[in-house]
Structure formats: C-alpha cells, structure tokens
Chain A
Amino acid sequence: MRICLAASAGGHLSQLLRLSHSWKDYEVFWITTTTVVAEKLCAFGRVYTVGESNRQHLIKVIKALLRCTKIIFTEKPDIVISTGAAVGCVTCFLGKILGAKIIWIDSITNVEQISLSGKMVRYIADLFLVQWPELAEKYHNVNYEGTVI
C-alpha cells in the first residue's frame, strides 16, 4: 500500500509530521511546496516539490497543478493523506481520480469554519478529521478525535 503525504511547507506540514505514528510503517512519498523542507522529509520517503501557489498567482497554480498531476499519475498512490492547503487539495482530487482513498485532517488554524480546501475535499474524503469539536457538530461526515498541537 503506497501513501502520498501532501502538505504545504510550514504549519500544514508540521501537523502531518506529528501524525507520523499513523503512516510511518507504510511506503510513503511526499508532495510539498518547497525544497527547504526536503532534507527533513526524505528520511521517510521520496520528496516532490511543486512550488508555492495561492489564488493570487494563477500561473504558479497551473504549474503546481501540472506537476502534481504528473507525480500522481506516475506514483499512483493507494491513499492520500493531507493537512492542506492548496497543494493538498489538488493532490486529493487527483488521487481520487485514480481511485485512491482520501484522508484529510483540517488544520488547527481553522477555528470557526473548515478551510476552503477542506470544504471541497469533504465531498470526496473517506476520512475527514477536524481539530475543534464545534466543527464536527457543524458539518456532516466530519469527525473530531482531538488536536495534534
């Protein structure tokens, strides 16, 4: 079973790393945004970087999307686990196209509502976790197990 771990560098990635206990015994590869973190991640598996992208820079988004597509269609993961943000969202949808199971952990920074990425991924996720109990009450098919920070 091959797992794709997808997260933007920074807070999203550090939250995914805090869950290493769940995925460390599987074959994993990473999709993240910058090479700066590659050294830390390569201890666990292959690392792919697709660059930073946000809604303000369309060209960067397209580049990252193409890069993610190539990676996912080459690696064909059985599972995608992501904490966000945009890169995680894109990876989840691409993975789903190939039949992968999708696990989404919404970042702890989403206090009053789930993230924009999370709102989209919610429809395709097989396991969707939030880190505030109020959010689990607010949305269907959303579970709360606790916080990672």
Chain B
Amino acid sequence: MIFLTVGTQFPFDRLVRTVDEVCENGFREEIFAQIGDTSYKPRNFKSVASLSKNMFDEYMKDASSVISHAGMGVITMALDNKKPLLVIPRLKKYGEVVNNHQVAIARKFEKLGHILSAYNVEELPGKLQQLKTFVPKIRENQAQAVANRIARFLQSLTNEPVR
C-alpha cells in the first residue's frame, strides 16, 4: 500500500488530482490517502480528510512507500521509518504555501539520495514508477553533536559569575 498524505495544515489538490489521473491511466497499486479538508475527491483510491496521530503512524508504518508534499514533518517520518518517499513541493504560484522553501528542501534531500521529488505534475508519473524500486539512503543525523555543542556552551555559562 502506498500512503499518500498532504499534511495537516492545508489541502493539496494538485497532488491528489495528479495521482488520481495516473491511476486512471493504468497505475496499478493500492493507495490510501489523507487529503485534508478539500473539494476534490479521488475516484481511484480510498481517502480520508484527516487521521489521528496514532492512525497516521500506523499507515506510515504499514506503507510500502509514501507520496506527500515536501513538508519537513513527513520527510522526517519517512526517513525515520526508512520508507521510500516521493514528494511534490508545494508552490507559491498556486497559493499552496507562502514561499518556495519546499522546493529547496526537496532538491537538497533528493540530491542526498534520501527521497525522490517531482517538481511539476508532468514529472509525477515517471517518478511514481521510479518509486517502486527506489531505495532511500539512510540519513544519519548529528543531533548528539549539536546537543553537545549547546551543552558545552551552557556549561561555560555556569562557570561565569552569576549576574
């Protein structure tokens, strides 16, 4: 099952409609979608407006792969769950987001081999095919190193006289 999610804040009809069209044209894989509060209802797969945190986690865990906007939340979850992820960045020109930061994030993570990204709807069918065999590069974070740096800074402050 492919899990399609648009995140909790805004709908993302451009993504849902395009995936629906790809299915219409013969893409045969089970999809379950969380599409937000939106007017467009997909005809080729099941969808819900929203999911509880627990249900969301369940679908993420069970999914063979994930399709979503390029939100950092879902990218993080897909990486943590080691799921192949295909994103379409939300674009400012369609009023989907206030700036084009999702494009920059998608580019960066795609270049590093962690995700696939389609930058427009035309690219989506091809990328969906790629997703079937895509093996995401495991992301190693340095949270411990960053925390250590902050801890050292805090430690240096405690050695200063109290103001």
Count of chain B residues with Cβ under 8 Å from any Cβ of A? 29
Q: Using A111-B108, A147-B141 as known contacts, say yes or no to A79 and B157 having CB atoms under 8 A apart.
A: yes
Contact of B139 with A26 in the complex, beta carbons under 8 Å: no
Instruction: Tell me how many residue pairs across A and B have CB atoms closer than 8 Å.
Output: 93
Which B residues between 38 and 75 are near A, CB-CB below 8 angstroms? Answer: 71-73, 75
Give the bracket for the number of chain A residues in contact with chain B.
35 or more
Give the residues in chain B near A10, CB-CB below 8 Å. Answer: 73
Contact of A110 with B142 in the complex, beta carbons under 8 Å: no
Contact of A149 with B141 in the complex, beta carbons under 8 Å: yes
Give the residues in chain B near A108, CB-CB below 8 Å. Answer: 72
Give the residues in chain A near B129, CB-CB below 8 Å. Answer: none
By beta carbon, the residue of chain B nearest A108 is: B72
Tell me, yes or no, whether A50 is within 8 Å of chain B by CB: no
Q: Using A22-B151, A127-B150 as known contacts, say yes or no to A78 and B142 having CB atoms under 8 A apart.
A: no
Instruction: List residues of B whose CB falls within 8 A of some A CB.
Output: 71-73, 75-76, 79, 98, 101, 104-105, 107-108, 139, 141-151, 153-154, 157-158, 163
Instruction: List residues of A whose CB falls within 8 A of some B CB.
Output: 1, 3, 10-11, 14, 18-23, 26, 54, 78-79, 81, 99, 101, 103, 105, 107-112, 126-127, 129, 131-132, 143, 145-149
